[in-house]
Amino acid sequence: MIKAIVGANWGDEGKGKITDMLSKEADIIIRFQGGSNAGHTIKNNYGKFALHMLPSGVFYGHTTSILGNGVALNIPYMANEIKSLVDKGVPEPKILVSDRAQILMPYHILFDEYEEERLAGKAFGSTKSGIAPFYSDKYAKVGFQVQELFMDESELRGKVERVIAQKNVLLKHLYHKPELKADEIMATLAEYREMVAPYVCDVSLFLDNALKEGKEILLEGQLGALKDPDHGIYPMVTSSSTLAAYGAIGAGVPPYAIKDIITVVKAYSSAVGGGAFVSEILDEDEAEELRKRGGDGGEYGATTGRPRRVGWFDAVATKYGCMTQGTTEVAFTVLDPLGYLDEIPVCVAYDIDGEITDRFPCTSKLEKAKPVIKKLPGWKCDITGIREFDKLPAEARNYVNEIEKLIGFPITYVSNGPGREDIIRRTPQL
């Protein structure tokens, strides 16, 4: 059976914790899209970790963690992340890398930096991890798959020369930066071959056999539905599909084998980078108060460290995100930071040019939207450590119940603390 763990919003919903928790009962965990541009923060008995490239199931000895064909494979980042885990006392995880995965090259990062520099005030707010140039190359068919590292060297060099001829035109005439050299690219590819060789696998065959054997498989998504290039807040999106449906493609599994889609939803809103954010708290003092209390040690990017934009829960965006993900159940995270509030604002609808709607619109209309706010009573206490839903304060239970009604999808997990054990299993009321 396959479960997908994905985000409903802009990312940063707490997918890493949910994957880490569910990995206890899983055999295989797969990253199926994205790269090292967004991190999953996990706190467990080994310590606190911010994973960027590896799946969040690497802390269990019985699991196999896979980087699927859909990822932007940053090989040095992967190698360094494995080493950092082992250095902190985590048993060396079993890692497999798809031979069809594409390699993120150093020049992808450079092109990302150069383009943000060129755009200046109109930049996309990229993490400058090379993601957009990487996926551009993939679909222009000028990228490098892992399997190509092991091809005849003269053939590989021929491809390198063809690729850099195109890129050097841009470097010289658009960006006015140093040109790429074939010898240097070949040396980099040789280093990458040595790093990745122990992990390379025919993942499609491996997963086909695993499904036939009845293995439990988790698909781990990066970012959230609103960052999807087709269904998100285009153009302020990422460059790979963030939807559970893409898990079938990015991992190489049959779509009908994905039986459960657990969509992770935050009890308030946060986002990194630009783009429409209707429920954003615009008062900086008010925003900073939530930011410093939120997440696990504050709302700051696991990859960049930069402050996240924060806002109140957005029922319109979340309902849409759950719909596009094909949600079967919701994991509701970071409820505990809201305990300082007398009242908790919730965005229940949008006002767009005087029309009130609870439907999430396309970007041009979204930019005009103003939040319609409803306030719910706060619980004014620390709820960390409570393990049963009925033992939460009545106001906290009411908040969860109201959110469930607003989004129309069953909330089955409630996270009320940073640790692996800080989770409540809940019976939905829908």
List pLDDT tens digits, range 324-356.
999 999 999 999 999 999 999 999 999 999 999
Condensed to tens digits (0 to 9), the pLDDT of residues 234-259 reads 999 999 999 999 999 999 999 999 99
pTM of the model: 0.92
**Residue 120: is its pLDDT beyond 90?**
no
- Give dist(CA 50, CA 302) in Å, integer: 6
Would you say residue 47 has pLDDT above 90? Answer: no
pLDDT band at 125 (very low <50, low <70, confident <90, very high): low
Element housing 394 (H / E) = helix 394-407
Q: Which tens digits make up the pLDDT trace of 159-212?
A: 999 999 999 999 999 999 999 999 999 999 999 999 999 999 999 999 999 999
Contact between residue 297 and residue 43 where contact means Cβ atoms under 8 Å apart: no
- List alpha helices for 129-229, DSSP H: 131-139, 153-170, 182-196, 203-212
Q: What pLDDT is attached to residue 153?
A: 94
Residues 6+ apart with CB under 8 A from 400: 332, 335, 389, 392, 411, 414, 426
CATH of 2-81+206-425, one of 3.30.499.10, 3.40.50.970, 3.20.20.70, 3.90.170.10: 3.90.170.10
Average pLDDT over residues 36-61: 83
Please say if the pLDDT value at position 122 is more than 70.
Answer: no
**According to the model, what pLDDT value does residue 205 have?**
96
Based on the residue annotation, tell me whether 40 is a catalytic residue of this protein.
yes
Q: Tens digit of pLDDT for each residue in 81-95?
A: 999 999 999 999 999
What strands, in cross-sheet order, belong to the sheet with 28-31? 200-201, 94-98, 64-67, 28-31, 217-224, 2-7, 258-266, 329-333, 411-415, 423-425
pLDDT for 304:
63
Domain locations in the chain? 2-81+206-425, 102-198
pLDDT tens digit string along 361-410? 999 999 999 999 999 999 999 999 899 999 999 999 999 999 999 999 99
Residue with tokens 């069953």: 410
pLDDT at 110 over 70: yes
Q: What is the distance between the alpha carbons of residues 257 and 252, in angstroms, rounded to a whole number?
A: 11
pLDDT: which is higher, 19 or 250: 250
281: pLDDT strictly greater than 90: yes
**Region 32-49: what's the mean pLDDT?**
82
Could you report the per-residue pLDDT of 299-321, keeping only the tens digit for each?
886 556 778 899 999 999 999 99
Q: Is 377 helix (H, G, I), strand (E, B) or coil?
A: strand
pLDDT of residue 195: 97
pLDDT of the residue at 302? 59
pLDDT of residue 141: 95
Distance CA 58, CA 94 (A): 8
Count of alpha carbons within 13 Å of 240, Cβ hemisphere only?
A: 30
| pLDDT at residue number 272 | 77
| Homologous superfamily in CATH for domain 102-198 | Adenylosuccinate Synthetase, subunit A, domain 2 (1.10.300.10)
Whether 349 and 361 have beta carbons less than 8 Å apart is answered as no
- Please report, rounded to a whole number, the percentage of residues in the chain having pLDDT higher than 70: 97
Residue 179: predicted pLDDT:
96
pLDDT for the residue numbered 121: 61
pLDDT in the model for residue 294 = 85
Tokens of 220: 């781990």
- The mean pLDDT of 268-279, rounded to a whole number, is 90
**Candidates 12, 112, 314, 336; catalytic one:** 12
Tokens of 211: 């499904």
Write the CB contacts of 427 (distance below 8 Å, at least 6 apart in sequence): 389, 412
12 catalytically annotated: yes
Annotated active-site residue in 20, 27, 40, 62: 40
How many angstroms from the chain centroid is the CA of residue 350?
26
The predicted pLDDT at position 12 comes to 87
Q: Is 90 exceeded by the pLDDT of residue 40? A: no
Mean pLDDT for all residues in the chain: 93
pLDDT for residue 126: 65
